[in-house]
Each structure stands twice: as C-alpha cells, then as structure tokens.
Structure 1
Amino acid sequence: MPGRRGPSGLPMNVENRRLVAGVSSFDTRPQLIRWAVDETAARGAELRLVTAVPQRAASERYLPSDAADELRRDAHDTLAQAAKYAEQHRPGLWITTEVVGGRPADVLLAAATHADLLVVGADDQSPFTEAIIGSVPGTLLTTAPCPLVVVPHSDLNIRADMPVVVALDESGTSQAAMAYAFATADRTRRPLRVLHCVLDGHDDGSILPGLARALTGFGALYPRVDAAHDVVAGDPRDVLTQRSRTSALLVLGSRGHGRLASGLFGSVGRTLIRRSGCPVVIARPRSAELTRGMS
C-alpha cells in the first residue's frame, strides 16, 4: 500500500493534480526533491514519490527471503528520507510514497499514466536516469504519457530574472514545446526566449516566418509573457548546455524531424541530461492542456 502524508481534511480531489517523482537511493539529494516539491506546491498538486525494486525482490522465488526483505526495506527507507525532506521543505504538502517491483522504465511509465508531470534526477548511477537515456528503455522519451522533467544533480542557482527557454531546430516549431514554454512562463512570471539552433550558420529563411507566426499566436493567448527569439549557430549540444546555465528551465519537444529532435535520443539528449545547468523538460503533445489547467 502506498504511504500517505499530508494535512488532515485536504480534499481528495487533489489527486486530480499529481506530480510523480522517480526516486532511487542515488537521488535523495535535495535538488530533485526540492524542485519537485516547489513545483507541486506552485501547482496546488499532490506529490507521489515512487521507487522501483528489481522484480526478483518482489518474489522470494528469485532471492532468499532475507535478501528480498532487505531490498524492500532499503526502498522504503529511501522514500521515507525523501518524504521527510519534502515535508520539511514544504510543510503541509500532500505526499504519497510507493515502492513498486519491476524495471525502472516500466515503473515510471505506469506511475505517470495519470500524472501531470514526471520528474527524475540526472544522476549517471541512478536507474531512473538510465531508464531515460539507456539504449533499451530510452523509449521513455517518446512514450511517457506526460511531460518529463530531468533535474540536474548539481546545485541549482536559479534566479527570479532567469528566462524559460524553448529550443527549436531547422525542422521548425514544436507546438507542444512552445505551448508548454509559454504556459510555464506565464504561470511563473518569467520571460520566454525561443532559441532557434542553426547548424553551420545555415538558415534558408523558411523557418523565421513560421516562428514569427507561432510567437504571435501564442502571444495572443499569453499576453503577459515577454517573449523574444534568438537565432544561434552552432552544435546544439554546446549551445543548449551553455544557455542552460543562465536559464530557469529548458523546454524541448519530443516529436519532430529536425536534427535537434532526432538528437534527443542520441548525443544531444545524453549531453543535456547529464550537463544541463537547469531542469530540462521533454514536452509531450498534451503538455499545453496540462500546464494551462494548472495555471
């Protein structure tokens, strides 16, 4: 049974707004929990902390009973530590904890089925990070049923004046990424910068008119957002890593046919997840609906 923590009398419909954080024994650093807690509080949502134990630990057919019990105890201890920190950081937040047997990728996909946001930490040793960028379960990038956020394991130095940045490439605008970025900038009162990455300094002039139309359209929906675009030449890995150090959030689309979009599942994605100076969002097609509903 999931463990539940929270103020008495809190309406149960809070579960309609849920953030899921994948926590492993390597992910109990404050950065992941603090970001997830702050985001949950800002959205008026419930935070579900989930960890996975190997399937063999769920059945004593595969392990001696004492070894299986130890794995489960460690998992529960990990979540207890994370929940304790979350409660100290944001007293009164509604928190759910759950230990699930199975592969990390499968556990995350199941937990995120009815979630508004899935949050994991960027730690090379974490099984949840491997579930995102690993060769087999990298399908999380394309199959996660909600927006996916990867929080750096290093200390975050995010100031109030830092912008939300949405990255585009030569394939043009990603509607999901643009919608998520605009909605987030509006909700957090941050400026928005649309970053157009051009390889080798080449731009045939066909992208900017479409980008201008998209900015105008989203600007009409979110008139409070201070939005501007930059065209930057260079390797997306270098450009985005550098820009992430002066940004509050970096938003990428999960679909597209350009080099940046396809690179999310290769070197670009691995570099950003491991080196980004700010949280990275992989926007899903339903991102706009979810984010606007939380405003």
Structure 2
Amino acid sequence: MPRSRGTNGTDMNTELGIVVAGVSTIYGRAVVRWAAAEAHARHAELRLVTAQPAAAVPDRYLPNDVATAHRAAAVRLLADLAGEMATGWPGVIVTTDLATGPPAAVLRAAAEEADLLVVGADDASPFTEAISGSVPGDLLTTSPCPLAVVPRREWTASTALPASAPVVVALDESTISHAALAYGYAAAARTGRPLTVVRCVTAGSFDQAAATAQARLLIAFGELYPDVAVSTEVEPGDPRHVLVAASRRAALLVLGSRGRGRLASSLFGSVSRDLIRRSGCPVVIARTQPAPVALCS
C-alpha cells in the first residue's frame, strides 16, 4: 500500500510509524478514537481502512446508483472519521483506504507495514466476523503486526481512566512471552502507567525453566525501563476468569504470540476468543520478535 498525502497536506515520504484502524459503520468511532490516541502517543500515522466485500452480484449487474451509493457511503464515513481524528488529535497524520475484498484479508494486507492493527471486538460487521466468528485465526494468529481488539462499548482512551489503571501483561508457565513483556513495558513507559505482570498457573502447568526465564526478562526489562513501576501477581485458576477480572481494572491487557499459526500457548489459544469478547479493556496480541542477546543471556 503506497504512502500518500495526509489530511493536513504533510508529505508522507517521511518515515513514520503506522497504526491501522479497521473502520466499520457500527462502533467504528470507538475503535478509531482509541487508535487515534495510540497514534498520537506513538507519533505515528493513523491509517483508516475499510473494506467492501465482493458482492454476490457483480456491480455490472447492479443498478449504477446502488453500487455508487454503497461506495459513496464508505468514502463519506472515512472522510468524516479522518476529519474528526485530525481535529481531535492535532499533529496526527490521518490517511484513508477503501479496498474491495474480504475484510480480514484487507486488514491483514494493510497491516504488513504497520506497527499496530486495531479492530473492534463485538462489532456487528464483517470485521468482527473475522475476530469472534468463523475466521478468528486470520487475524488473531496471522496478523503480521501486534493486533489490538477494542471492546464494543465506547472506549474514550486513557484519559478517562484513573492513572493507577495498569497495563497488564498475561503470562503462563509454558512460554517466556518476550513479545508480550516487550510490548507491555513499552506501552507502560509511553503512557506513564504502572505495569502488572499476571502469571496464570493451573494444576500441573508449572515450568521451572520458563519461570526462571521470565524472572530474568523482568530484571532485564526493568533495567531498560527504570521509570516503569512493576508488580507481579501469581494467580491460580482458570486463565479465562483470572484475566477477565484483571481486565476490569486495567487500561490494556497484553497477550503474547509465537507468530503466525498459534497464540503464546495452547492454554491462551483456547481462551483468547472468550477474553476478547469479555475483556473490560482493549486487548493486544503481541507478535514474537527476536530477543536481544542482553535479554537472553
């Protein structure tokens, strides 16, 4: 997807981070506003993307005014949101893209050069079909960048939350979750929020090697982010209940992923869809990235 000129006329040849937001007609503003706040905090471009699924009846067989009206409505929605976000978050460059194709595929392509992909959780639109319906793997396990899923309710960004609301990173005993910790620490540092690391422990799941690796990572990240206040909680029980409860007091919930094909573990993979639907805050699925040698030594 080529770079273009932003709504404020700024030339887009300058390299910026990119936050992609999937736009839909229902609950779209909640998703886009959260994405705009994130782009502002990151000093990144905000790219609004919507898809028109290929019609069962080709456009050439539809009355011209019907096909034109559908496209015009989508263009209007993108333009309205772009103007609102540019006004609400001065300095954020906002671009738009209207594509034809399956929504999950369109978003996945848009995310290829993005730092974050943002979609809605309980949206009655094709975008949410890809998250909580029949194609969850298309985005949850194959997004090429971190995926943020914003709750259905209106989410008015971090300014509406108490300063004590933490970024929560969820770990289990089967993975060192470097990606989740890296994302969580960076998010906490960026927003000035505390970080809470929640370790979910179920019967027979304890892995001493993973626990030791996690402890070493916490020490290493603490040295990289000395200003981030960190607390650790070990919670026995069903991760589904533990993490939903944690999300009710959090600004953000971060889960790890090993990359394309599966979530951080079979444990988190089995509950991820339920978490996304029930979470009290936005959920980020962080992608695996190579760990610096300093963090692994």
* Shorter-chain TM-score range: 0.7 to 0.9
Residue 280 of structure 1 aligns with which residue?
283
Helix, strand or coil at the partner of 2:218: helix
* Alpha-carbon separation, structure 2, partners of 1:86 and 1:18: 15
1:164 maps to 167
Q: Secondary structure at the match of 1:247?
A: coil
1:143 aligns with 142
Q: 1:166 to 1:248 in 2, by over 3 A?
A: same
- Kindly report which structure 2 residues correspond to 1:1-295, keeping only aligned pairs within 5 A, or say none: 5-8=6-9, 10-29=10-29, 31-56=30-55, 60-61=59-60, 63-136=62-135, 138-156=137-155, 157-200=160-203, 203=206, 205=208, 207-255=210-258, 261-266=265-270, 268-286=271-289
Amino-acid identity (%):
53
Query: Deviation at 1:133?
Result: 3.2
Report the count of equivalent residues: 286
C-alpha separation in 2, matches of 1:287 and 1:42 = 24
CA 1:135–1:261 in structure 2 vs 1: closer, same or farther (change >3 Å)?
A: farther
Per-residue CA deviation, residues 213-252 of structure 1 (Å, 9 max, x unaligned), is 1211221222222222110011111111111111111110
Q: Secondary structure at the match of 2:144?
A: coil
How far the C-alpha of 1:158 sits from its partner, in A, is 2.3
What is the alpha-carbon root mean square deviation over aligned residues?
2.9
Distance 1:62 1:230, change over 3 A: farther
Give CA-to-partner distance per residue, 1:8-36, whole Å, 9 cap, x none. Answer: 4x35344531111000111323x212211
Structure 1 CA distance, aligned partners of 2:173 and 2:62? 51
What is the TM-score normalised by the length of structure 2?
A: 0.85
Write out per-residue CA displacement over residues 230-285 of structure 1, whole angstroms, 9 at most, x where no aligned residue: 1001111111111111111111012299997335544x222221121111100012
Structure 2 residue identity aligned to 1:28: G
CA distance in structure 2 between the aligned counterparts of 1:27 and 1:4, rounded to whole angstroms: 27
Query: How many angstroms apart in 2 are the aligned matches of 1:50 and 1:58?
Result: 23
Alpha carbons of structure 1 residues 6 and 67: separation in structure 2 relative to 1, 3 Å = closer
Mean Cα displacement is larger for which, 52-61 or 98-107? Answer: 52-61
Is the contact between residue 236 and residue 260 of structure 1 (CA under 8 Å) also seen in structure 2?
Answer: no
